[in-house]
Amino acid sequence: MTEHIKIKQDDAILEIIFARPEKKNALSNAMYRAATEALGAAQSNQTIRVVLFGAEGDAFTAGNDLADFANAAAGKGEGLAAHDFIEALGRADKPIVAAVPGLAVGVGTTMLLHCDLVYLAETAKLSTPFVNLALVPEAASSMLLPARIGHVRAFAMFALGDGLSAAEAVALGLANRVLPKNAVLTAAREAARTLATRPLGAIVATKKLMRDRERILRRMDEEAAIFAQRLQTDEAREALKAFAERRQPDFTRLAS
């Protein structure tokens, strides 16, 4: 476990809170493992009816901890734990609510595609700059994001690193409401409490009808295989090295 993930059960609601605000809640392997374990426990615990994700500080999450990426690219460390978390989201039957207090980068945005209700702070910005790191999308977002917002806008988010404001995200159907930052978690908790009073069997059946889970899981596996391959490329090593050196990467001299 890790102190950077806070887990609390409040009656029928399990809260999973990212608690690494000094690093904009960048998700380390340890954080992924703790969140994955909590999600799995929620599915098997009959007293839990709703899962709620939130975060401390001014960011939801800045995405993956790039130190773990760099280690994986160099063949060091323990590999990446992100895929297990992503798969747990894809398999989840119970409703998931998200309270997003600010920046949501990479998996911070793609995980919202697996949440059933999403509440955003006015200052929130969603982005998926995978290509900036010479990588590819994950969490089945290469399928789910274009389905939500259209190919050209999704491609601009993936390939150009374009972001969405909270208002744009609501207008495009990625979130329910935009609220002042200090009201986001309260609104998410209220929604979670309401969901917890609904017949869980009907909620689970409705969620299953709305999602092609097997297709989502297949796409996750396809993305994960290409993602792992991309991490070993010269492009990815240049991107990560440039990030560490606080400079712009130069991909023009590298072969694809």
Q: What would the mean pLDDT of 183-197 be, rounded to a whole number?
A: 98
Read off φ and ψ for residue 119, nearest 5 degrees. Answer: -120, 130
Is pLDDT above 90 for 252? no
Q: What would the mean pLDDT of 247-254 be, rounded to a whole number?
A: 88
pLDDT at 255: 67
Sorting pLDDT into bands at 50, 70 and 90, what band is 248? very high
- The CATH number, out of the four listed (1.10.240.10, 3.30.70.1710, 2.60.120.10, 3.90.226.10), of the domain defined by the range 5-181: 3.90.226.10
pLDDT at 99: 98
Is pLDDT above 80 for 79? no
Point out the least confidently predicted range of 25-39, 74-88, 144-158: 74-88
Distance separating alpha carbons of residues 206 and 212, to the nearest angstrom: 12
Q: What would the mean pLDDT of 45-66 be, rounded to a whole number?
A: 96
Distance separating alpha carbons of residues 217 and 90, to the nearest angstrom: 6
Is pLDDT above 80 for 123? yes
**Average pLDDT of the chain, as a whole number:** 94
Q: Terminus-to-terminus CA distance in the chain, angstroms?
A: 39
Distance separating alpha carbons of residues 60 and 127, to the nearest angstrom: 12
Is pLDDT above 90 for 256? no
**Cβ–Cβ under 8 Å, residues 102 and 56:** no
| Neighbour tally for 153: CB within 10 Å | 16
Report the percent of the chain where pLDDT is more than 70: 97
Sorting pLDDT into bands at 50, 70 and 90, what band is 66? confident
Domain boundaries, the chain: 5-181
pLDDT at 244: 85
| Neighbour tally for 221: CB within 10 Å | 12
What is this structure's pTM?
A: 0.95
Is pLDDT above 70 for 230? yes
Query: Which of 174, 181, 171 lies closest to 124, judged by CA?
Result: 181
